[in-house]
Amino acid sequence: MSLLYFLQLLVGFFGLVLIALPFSQNLKNVNYKSIGIGIIFQIVLAILLLKVPLIVDAFKFLGDGVIALQNATAKGTSFLFGFLSSPVLPFSLEDPSVQIQSAYFAFGILPFILVMSALTAWLWHIKVLKFIVDGFSKICQRLFNIGGPVGLGSAANVFVGQVEAPLVIRPYLSKLSKKEILILLTAGMSTVAGSIMVALVSMLNNQFPDIVLIQHLITASIISVPAAIIYANILMPSNKITQFDDSELPKLYNSQMDAVTRGTRDGLEIALSVGAILIVFITFVALFDSLLGLIHDDLSLQVILGYIFAPICWLMGIPWEEAVIAGQLLGVKTALNEFVAYSGLASLEPGLLSEQSKLITLYALCGFANFSSVGILIAGVGAMAPDRRSDIVSVSFKALIGATLASCMTGLVVACVNLI
């Protein structure tokens, strides 16, 4: 590692914190010691998850499990959809000038969300995931001085969706402070659900053939939780803590069969939502690009967003000559959603980003921080706690800022750890 790159990474840590300060509700009460502890905790977590041989081997085993899950899901999708669920067309075209795009994304990748959602619900019901979440939650509570409900709700985001996670602490939503609601929403938007991760693995395999993608996506979500807490503490400093009694927590599912069936139903809603949002937003981007094309042939939404987010990408450790390309993806993720951004990363031409820059971008995109997620959270969490709807709305923009910066901080942490 050159001295200049080391200085760039060092400036990155200060820069990503400084960006959040103007949005702080009470700048005088920001706990900078807690910020330092949080960043160190992120780095330690990343080293443990990416460099410790035993954990790396466990992730490789998990990666093999994901491949087995993909193959098993392919059996179901091929039974229902036939060749439409295959990435390869079962016939050749006589006219090579004719291009037919495979329907693999709709009929092959989106069904993974259904399967993974059902599997996640079942693992939660039999307390496998809950055991992991409880342990991580207690660490966050001790390090960041946060209450049990918000610690549990934030940690649950690593495995379940941004709307499903608050369900775990539903009885306490009305009792949470405004700052604790901000932490919960920020953590929800700085991570991606386990059901989405498997679909992303299928999408990105060709772009990252030499790494265990599921390891990096899970790591990204795990180390983004402390980053989300850091930024929530910057944006709304407060010492108010809500505690709870474990016995008051709701039981999400009545039985294993209930967990599987409801998980499948929830997965269907997510898959349909993902597909619908992709159609609408990709259409909107194409229309917007057409209007910009009237001004200049080379002008597009991606180009504009690329230049806006390029400085942030440089702070994450991406060289300036590659920062605009990475900035385009980060901008698309914020303006549209992570699926559109990851599809852009998956189709990126070789040589545009170095392997280090691609890895940083992979981590920075791993979150639900976008404008549509704000609406989803306001509707979903607001329905669980109608009396706190106005507070949820009032902190939602701060949560979007905090979650975006949390994912960027995660990218910077990985840039450092990847050099070890």
CA distances from 358 to 199, 242, 353 (A): 18, 40, 6
Residue 348 has which token pair? 């990126």
Q: Which residues of the chain fall short of a pLDDT of 70?
A: 1, 63, 87-102, 104, 160-161, 171, 195, 242-250, 274, 278
The per-residue pLDDT for 97 is: 53
Question: Roughly what angle, to the nearest 10 degrees, separates helices 355-364 and 389-417?
Answer: 160
> Whole-angstrom Cα distance, residue 369 to residue 372?
8
Residue 405 has which token pair? 């910066």
Question: Roughly what angle, to the nearest 10 degrees, separates helices 301-315 and 320-335?
Answer: 120
Residue 129 has which token pair? 């995931």
The per-residue pLDDT for 95 is: 57
Tens of pLDDT, residue by residue over 185-203, are 999 999 987 767 877 888 8
> Whole-angstrom Cα distance, residue 310 to residue 293?
22
> Whole-angstrom Cα distance, residue 223 to residue 139?
12
Where would I find the H helices in 354-417?
355-364, 371-384, 389-417
Of the candidates 241, 245, 215, 30, the residue with the CA atom closest to the CA atom of residue 140: 241
> Whole-angstrom Cα distance, residue 131 to residue 243?
19
> Whole-angstrom Cα distance, residue 325 to residue 341?
11
Q: If you ran DSSP here, which 8-state letter would residue 15 be given?
A: H
> Whole-angstrom Cα distance, residue 247 to residue 161?
23
The per-residue pLDDT for 107 is: 80
The per-residue pLDDT for 77 is: 83
Q: What is the helix (H) or strand (E) element at residue 293, kind and residue range? A: helix 256-295
The per-residue pLDDT for 318 is: 96
Residue type, 323: A
In angstroms, how far is the first alpha carbon of the chain from the final one? 9
